[in-house]
Amino acid sequence: MNGFIDQPKWKKVEYSRSQIIKAGKTIRKDDISVDEKANAITIIDNWRAAHAYPLHVIYMHLRRMGESNKEIIVAERLKRLDSILSKLRRETNMSLWTMQDLGGCRFIVPTIEDVYKYAAKYEASKKRHILKEKYDYIENPKSSGYRSVHYVYEYHSDTTDTYNRNMLIEIQFRTHLQHLWATAVETMGLFTKNAIKSGQGDEDVKRFFVLASSLFAIKEKQNIVPNTINDIDEIVSEIESLNAKHNYLDFLSGIKVAVDYQKIKKKTSYYILILNYETHRLSIKPFLASEFESANELYNKLERHKNEAQMDAVLVRVSSFETLRSAYPNYFSDINEFVNIIKSYLQ
pLDDT in tens, 178-201: 999 999 998 888 788 777 877 788
Euclidean distance between CA atoms 283 and 267, whole angstroms: 19
What was the pLDDT predicted at 262? 67
Which residues of the chain fall below pLDDT 50? 1-8
pLDDT tens column, 113-144 = 999 999 999 999 999 999 999 999 999 999 99
Euclidean distance between CA atoms 145 and 53, whole angstroms: 32
Euclidean distance between CA atoms 212 and 199, whole angstroms: 16
What was the pLDDT predicted at 189? 85
Backbone angles phi, psi at 313, to 5 degrees: -135, 150
For the chain, helix, strand, coil in percent to 5 are 50, 20, 35
Inter-residue contact 246 to 206 (CB < 8 Å): no
Handedness of CA 1, 8, 167, 65 (dihedral sign): negative
Q: How far is CA 252 from CA 182, 200, 274, 335, 336, in A?
A: 13, 18, 19, 7, 8
Nearest CA to 182 among 318, 337, 303? Answer: 337
Annotation: CATH topology of 4-256+335-346: Beta Polymerase; domain 2 (3.30.460)
Within the chain, all domains assigned CATH 3.30.460.10 are found at: 4-256+335-346
What was the pLDDT predicted at 145? 96
